[in-house]
Structure 1
Amino acid sequence: MRITVWAATVLVVAGPAYAQQVTVKPVAEARLRYERAEQDGLTNDASDAATIRVRAGVLATTGPWSALVQAQGTLAAVDGYYDGLNGAATRPLIADPQNVALYLAQLQYRRSAVTITAGRQKIALDDERFVGNVAFRDNAQTFDAVRAEITPLKGLKADLTYAWDVRTIWGVDGVGARQQDVGGKNFFATLSYATPIGTLAGFAYLVDQDEAAVQGYRLSSQSYGARFAGTHALSKVVKLSYQASYATQSDYRRNPSHYRADYRLVDAGLEVSGVRLGGGYEVLGADKGVALTSFQTPLATGFKFQGWADKFLTTPADGVRDLYANLGYNAKRLGPFTGVSLHAAYHRFESDRLVRHYGDEVNLLASGRLGKTMISVRYAQYDADRFATDTRKAWLQFDWAL
């Protein structure tokens, strides 16, 4: 890591002296978000958070080489919430603690057939179901890693990563089960081939959560599987999308549990002139009904899956089945806004083992861009039956990038 930071600094400092060879440009983005969470069963059933997140850095490029250094800071302008580290745990959790940290520090070599990235970096593989950046949370998730993306033949791609540290969303004050970083020997590998009807990929994700404080090593796992995803234009205004995935998972390295669980997904959608109707069925299976012996995805961008109320970030002991439907509308322009998106989704959750109804959730989203600012409004409502408690969340968010 020290070598990466030093090398990136050298490139940035050398910019003025070798202007004809090195291009240096600033990188900046900012986010303002208000989030309200209400959860039944707590002493104080409401949390309010207004957070400001700023990232700034520089990108230096010369030929196939580039260096990126970016710092970030998160400030709670309104801190009437429990952030997972500070505040009263009797309030609903809003996982955006205040933070000042180095966000990215990477060197990259890029040619037409190969890209190699070393250092602290964002990694988002496929749909982020297994490995992602968790971009919705203010502090996000990054990896100290070396990654190689190789395209030896047209349509064929190998993506290989060795990560020795995961920088978590809990920031510099992270402690205990919510540490600021989790070390371990993580290996991520995908091999994909693009066909005329979609991309077929095989993958192996070896997750090593080598910290005793993080569930006693019980989140270390090895997952192997395959995924197929594609789209097909039925006419100029009608498009069909589809995906299917299967994986099997078992314990890995120092994990004291011995288990095996499966993952299954089928999803399809039909879009007509900007209106999209879709649905799917996702299963994170269970083994014995013992905690953390069900299918776990601790490095995923969990917010994207199984509802925005975040009830299933850790898969329950009996697994989870998610039957969902969604309806959306996208428009290039609507009034003063561009890139407009309206979205509604319904989820019905059941256990995989014993098939008990957990609860139901509704998600709503409206977003659009005004100049360089993306504005979004979200709402999530989880109605509990046999798992967790009723929860409601609302967000108003402004994102800006240079």
Structure 2
Amino acid sequence: MRSMLLAGAALAAAAPACAQDIKPLVEARARYEHVEQDGFAEDAEALTLRVRAGVQASTGPWTALVEAQGTMAVVDDFYDGLHGSATRPLVADPENVALYRAQLQYKTKAFAATAGRQRIALEDERFVGNGPFRQNAQTFDAVRVELTPIKGLKADVSYAWSVRTIWGVEGTGARQPAIRGDNIFANLSYATPVGTLTGFAYLIDQDEAAVQGYRLSSQSYGVRLAGVQKLSAVAKLSYQASYATQSEYGRNPNDYRADYYLLDAGLEVSGFKLGAGYEVLGADEGVALTSFQFPLGTNFKFQGWADKLLTTPPDGVRDLYGSLGYGWKAAGPFKGVTLQAAYHRFESDRLVRHYGDELNLLASGKLGKTTLSVRYADYHADLFATDTRRLWLQLDWAL
């Protein structure tokens, strides 16, 4: 049945003879990444290009699409996680040519069903996301159903039998091209006057022994509140709070329980943005992979951009952070210009040891159909990992 769903979605997308609306899908990205990391004699230099192209066809409530992607390295003085020896820092963008999406969707005002290879990004993508920052983003072979029976109430349930990873078609070992399994993502949300309240359950059951010996299989249950309140004509307050508990699931040989907490608030006044938050990824007994994990989340968005905490350490993480930014609707020829700075202080949850601190900087703006961005991360290690500095220069273009 899984193969039939994928094949049906691909055929429907590739043969839109009766479609009323046909739309080409084209986007490209060029990114330069430089990494200096203690412990390596040489820095990493990566210039990678990614192109995605496809077609979307629609008729009435039906939409089908197929999209391929290709990634190549113009400058490859880096370790891509798959090829060669790790004599330079890791830049997780291996060369790749693959089917990115192939899906068929039926959608009305109150109901939507999507089958095939697709992007799934739930809530803030902490638990389930697309990982869009990496050149080979994460997609899911899945069936997803979204139901809105009454205004403000929404049920969102997905069954995914394969996760197509960022490692591409040549992935191997613990970095597989795809991770098979039986994964269920379920959200039930309701829009209240103070924000959207969501109850969630994420059941991750991985079938690849090479990927940490099934130790990333887990069940997470929790609740999240996220909202925005307008304070005046030029000011608004955003906030979110979340709690979850996680334990082993499926064939995971570990026996553990860990908790997750998040408190976050942001104030925007006349273009200025000020934010602060506290996120805790709890630990059990200090054994590897018994702390709170996010194997399917968009982890680059959280806990700094230097990629030091993509896998939660055995003793968990406490992340106290603050941010300051400013945005212009237009600045010269650029639209949507943003400047942002964020600072993180990392500690372990168990035994409360100082891991290190990180500074993140971002500048971005849009010129026509092209978005330009400069990003920088500087991690100063204390008792975890090593000093690391990363610089990105990036161009994104979309039709």
The TM-score with structure 1 as length reference comes to 0.97
| Equivalent in the alignment of 2:20 | 22
User: How far did 1:23 drift?
Assistant: 2.0
| Equivalent in the alignment of 1:58 | 55
| Alignment counterpart, residue 344 of structure 1, candidates 341, 344, 356 | 341
Larger CA deviation: 328-337 vs 277-286? 328-337
| Equivalent in the alignment of 2:261 | 264
| Equivalent in the alignment of 2:243 | 246
Secondary structure, aligned partner of 1:205: strand
Judged with a 3 Å threshold, the aligned counterparts in structure 2 of structure 1 residues 294 and 4 are, in CA distance, closer, same or farther, namely same
2 CA distance for matches of 1:210 and 1:325?
Answer: 39
| Equivalent in the alignment of 2:375 | 378
2 CA distance for matches of 1:15 and 1:94?
Answer: 38
| Alignment counterpart, residue 311 of structure 2, candidates 303, 311, 314 | 314
2 CA distance for matches of 1:14 and 1:284?
Answer: 46
Judged with a 3 Å threshold, the aligned counterparts in structure 2 of structure 1 residues 15 and 22 are, in CA distance, closer, same or farther, namely farther
Q: Superposed, which structure 2 residues align to 1:215-234 within 5 Å?
A: 215-234=212-231
1:201 correspondence with 2:198 = yes
Say whether the 8 Å CA contact 1:27–1:56 is kept in structure 2: yes
Instruction: Give the CA RMSD over aligned residues.
Output: 1.1
Amino acid at match of 2:4: I
| Alignment counterpart, residue 33 of structure 1, candidates 31, 34, 51 | 31
| Equivalent in the alignment of 1:354 | 351
Say whether the 8 Å CA contact 2:36–2:44 is kept in structure 1: yes
Say whether the 8 Å CA contact 2:10–2:103 is kept in structure 1: no
Judged with a 3 Å threshold, the aligned counterparts in structure 2 of structure 1 residues 223 and 5 are, in CA distance, closer, same or farther, namely closer
User: How far did 1:9 drift?
Assistant: 5.1
Secondary structure, aligned partner of 2:223: strand
In the TM superposition, structure 1's runs of 4+ consecutive aligned residues that sit over 6 Å from their partners are: none
User: How far did 1:41 drift?
Assistant: 1.1
Q: Deviations over 1:248-284 (max 9, x none)?
A: 0000000000000000000001110010111000000
1 CA distance for matches of 2:7 and 2:39?
Answer: 50
Stretches of structure 2 that go unaligned for 5 or more consecutive residues are: none
Aligned residues: 398
2 CA distance for matches of 1:354 and 1:13?
Answer: 56
Q: Deviations over 1:70-109 (max 9, x none)?
A: 0000000000000000133121000000000000000000
2 CA distance for matches of 1:312 and 1:152?
Answer: 39
Say whether the 8 Å CA contact 2:9–2:116 is kept in structure 1: no
Say whether the 8 Å CA contact 1:138–1:169 is kept in structure 2: yes
Percent of matched pairs sharing the same residue: 71
Q: Deviations over 1:348-393 (max 9, x none)?
A: 0000000000000000000000000000000000000000000000
Q: Deviations over 1:105-137 (max 9, x none)?
A: 000000000110000000000000000000000
Judged with a 3 Å threshold, the aligned counterparts in structure 2 of structure 1 residues 136 and 39 are, in CA distance, closer, same or farther, namely same
1:155 correspondence with 2:180 = no
1:123 correspondence with 2:124 = no
Stretches of structure 1 that go unaligned for 5 or more consecutive residues are: none
| Equivalent in the alignment of 2:67 | 70
Secondary structure, aligned partner of 2:213: helix
| Equivalent in the alignment of 1:183 | 180
Q: Deviations over 1:174-207 (max 9, x none)?
A: 0000000000000000000001220000000001
| Equivalent in the alignment of 2:76 | 79
1 CA distance for matches of 2:270 and 2:129?
Answer: 31
| Alignment counterpart, residue 301 of structure 2, candidates 304, 310, 330 | 304
